[in-house]
């Protein structure tokens, strides 16, 4: 794997993210100029807006309203479904409760996943099976459950169409990754509120990071703050109504041997008195698939694949469960300490072994 210093590959200067229309990619398996453009954009920047996804505006508006309603609940009602109560990393996390690059993120959020039965823990059951299980649902907002489950189904269908388009763009069979994303699914949904921060305070809504799954589909409200790293510096990603912001995850980068790139992004907190809301869907490999396969790209594409990039402070594993649990443990230390003491202790030991220069690099995500 190449080092983090090579993360920013030469690419044309951008002043705005490109827009992809999913309808133009079609539902067939024929490679078109639209697929070539998709592959080029994904390789060069790893981020784009997605329109033509077919999700009705009223479904989007309903979920956005439900998100605001939840975060307006009294603290006790939100803490009723605190993530720290369950080993499945589902539920509510308060401001500062999630860690990115060793720093607290100034956001509150609810994490959901596919609604599945828990895998009973046991001496012969790998710890990462704890990622599968039921969600926690707020009794103060009972209608939220139906909205979330419907959104998981709707967005999964969009992500599956987009993944198929990527495979065709890379001259692969459209079914090449079917086993990787087959049921039981392992997709996640995060509904996020970024409260405003006073001038002079930390503005880390979420620190610089890459997403760990295959694809992320993000809806953001009309308050800006999302930025993506480019060779020219941080690029603002302003809101685009009812359009998803799409980014490549590390698992898709791994499957393409680095031809497609997962890119670093962050969110800066809004100013005092302003709130920002977003809804992030993470399309991820099934835990039952175990390993991420390496696609056999045609020679003219394979020659441009430089291998997946790996942060030496956050190594990338091809084993799906191991990689997913590692990410959760690093981000939610309270859950890790309670339910995953071995992984928690290993993480703390790794942090203790860092010298000051490594710690500074981890916090800044410097290149």
CA dist 205 to 45, 216, 265, Å? 22, 18, 11
* Cα 143 to chain centroid, rounded: 25
Given this model, what pLDDT does residue 367 score?
31
Given this model, what pLDDT does residue 106 score?
95
Given this model, what pLDDT does residue 5 score?
35
CA dihedral 215, 190, 329, 187 (to 10 degrees): -50
Closest-CA residue to 176 (of 30, 281, 294) = 294
Given this model, what pLDDT does residue 353 score?
85
Neighbour count for residue 356 (Cβ, 10 Å): 7
Radius of gyration of the chain (CA): 20
Task: Kindly give the interhelix angle for 144-169 and 33-44, rounded to the nearest 10 degrees.
Answer: 110
Contact residues for 101 (Cβ-Cβ < 8 A; gap 6+):
207, 208, 209, 362, 363, 364, 365
Compute φ and ψ for 268, nearest 5 degrees: -90, 135
| Spatial contact of 168 and 174, defined as CB atoms under 8 Å apart | yes
| Spatial contact of 249 and 215, defined as CB atoms under 8 Å apart | yes
- What's this model's pTM, rounded to 2 decimal places? 0.93
Given this model, what pLDDT does residue 314 score?
67
Per-residue confidence in pLDDT tens, the chain, 367 aa: 333 333 444 445 577 899 999 999 988 899 999 999 999 999 888 899 999 999 999 999 999 999 999 999 999 999 999 999 999 999 999 999 998 888 899 999 999 999 999 999 999 999 999 999 999 999 999 999 999 999 999 999 999 999 999 999 999 999 999 999 999 999 999 999 999 999 888 999 999 999 999 999 999 999 999 999 988 899 999 999 999 999 999 999 999 999 998 999 999 999 999 999 999 999 999 999 999 999 999 999 999 998 887 666 667 888 999 999 999 998 999 999 999 999 999 989 888 887 776 665 555 543 3
Contact residues for 51 (Cβ-Cβ < 8 A; gap 6+):
19, 20, 21, 22, 240, 242, 243
């Amino acid at each position: 794997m190449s080092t983090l210093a090579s993360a920013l590959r030469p690419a044309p200067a951008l002043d705005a993210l490109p827009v992809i229309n999913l309808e133009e990619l079609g539902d067939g398996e024929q490679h078109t100029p639209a697929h070539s453009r998709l592959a080029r954009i994904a390789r060069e920047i790893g981020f784009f807006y997605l329109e033509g996804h077919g999700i009705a505006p009223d479904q989007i508006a309903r979920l956005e309203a439900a998100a605001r309603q939840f975060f307006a609940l009294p603290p006790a009602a939100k803490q009723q479904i605190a993530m720290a109560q369950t080993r499945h990393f589902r539920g509510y996390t308060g401001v500062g409760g999630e860690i990115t690059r060793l720093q607290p993120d100034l956001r509150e959020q609810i994490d959901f996943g596919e609604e599945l039965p828990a895998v009973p823990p046991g001496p012969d059951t790998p710890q990462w099976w704890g990622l599968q299980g039921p969600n926690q649902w707020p009794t103060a907002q009972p209608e939220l459950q139906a909205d979330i489950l419907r959104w998981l189904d709707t967005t999964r269908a969009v992500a599956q169409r987009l993944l198929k388009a990527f495979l065709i763009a890379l001259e692969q069979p459209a079914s090449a990754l079917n086993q990787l994303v087959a049921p039981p699914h392992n997709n996640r949904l995060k509904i996020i509120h970024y409260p405003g921060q006073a001038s002079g305070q930390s503005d880390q809504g979420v620190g610089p990071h890459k997403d760990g799954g295959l694809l992320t589909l993000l809806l953001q409200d009309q308050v800006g703050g999302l930025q993506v790293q480019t060779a020219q510096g941080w690029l603002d990603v302003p809101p685009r109504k009812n359009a998803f912001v799409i980014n490549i995850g590390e698992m898709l980068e791994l499957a393409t041997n680095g031809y497609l790139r997962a890119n670093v992004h962050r969110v800066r907190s809004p100013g005092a008195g302003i709130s920002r809301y977003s809804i992030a869907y993470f399309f991820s490999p099934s835990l039952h698939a175990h390993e991420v396969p390496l696609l056999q790209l045609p020679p003219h594409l394979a020659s441009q694949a430089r291998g997946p990039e790996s942060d030496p402070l956050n190594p990338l594993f091809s084993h799906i469960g191991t990689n997913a649990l590692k990410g959760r443990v690093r981000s939610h230390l309270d859950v890790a300490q309670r339910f995953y003491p071995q992984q928690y202790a290993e993480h703390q030991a790794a942090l203790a072994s860092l010298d000051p220069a490594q710690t500074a690099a981890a916090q800044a995500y410097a290149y």
